[in-house]
Amino acid sequence: MTASAPEPAQSGIRISSQGEGANSLTLSLANAPEPADEVVEAEGARVYLDPVAATVLEDKSLDAGADDQGSVSFLVTDQPV
């Protein structure tokens, strides 16, 4: 997804909160992290989390997959204990 971004070496997926609360998170493509973002890198993927999203997702795992048509889906689950 980020290979065609203007700066693929820095690009990633950004998860951010909507407004003041943690009731709604938004996923978007980003060319680079925002100054307060936490950066998580694993298996060639880079995810930027704003401070609220980082707190909400600190005990979660993010998995991504693509179907035969190229549609990407994401799944957030609890990390195994």
pTM: 0.77
Q: Tell me if 2 is assigned to some domain.
A: no
Q: Tell me if 35 is assigned to some domain.
A: yes
Per-residue model confidence (pLDDT) at position 22: 62
Asked if pLDDT for residue 61 goes beyond 90, the answer is no
Q: Tell me the residue range of the domain where 43 lies.
A: 12-78
Q: Tell me if 22 is assigned to some domain.
A: yes
Asked if pLDDT for residue 79 goes beyond 90, the answer is no
Q: Tell me if 70 is assigned to some domain.
A: yes
CATH of the domain at 70: 2.60.300.12
Asked if pLDDT for residue 81 goes beyond 80, the answer is no
Asked if pLDDT for residue 5 goes beyond 60, the answer is no
Q: Tell me if 49 is assigned to some domain.
A: yes
As a three-state string, the secondary structure of 10-73 is CCEEEEEECCCCCCCEEEEEECCCCCCCEEEEECCEEEEECHHHHHHHCCEEEEEEECCCCCEE
Domain count, the chain: 1
Confidence of residue 6 (pLDDT cuts 50, 70, 90): low
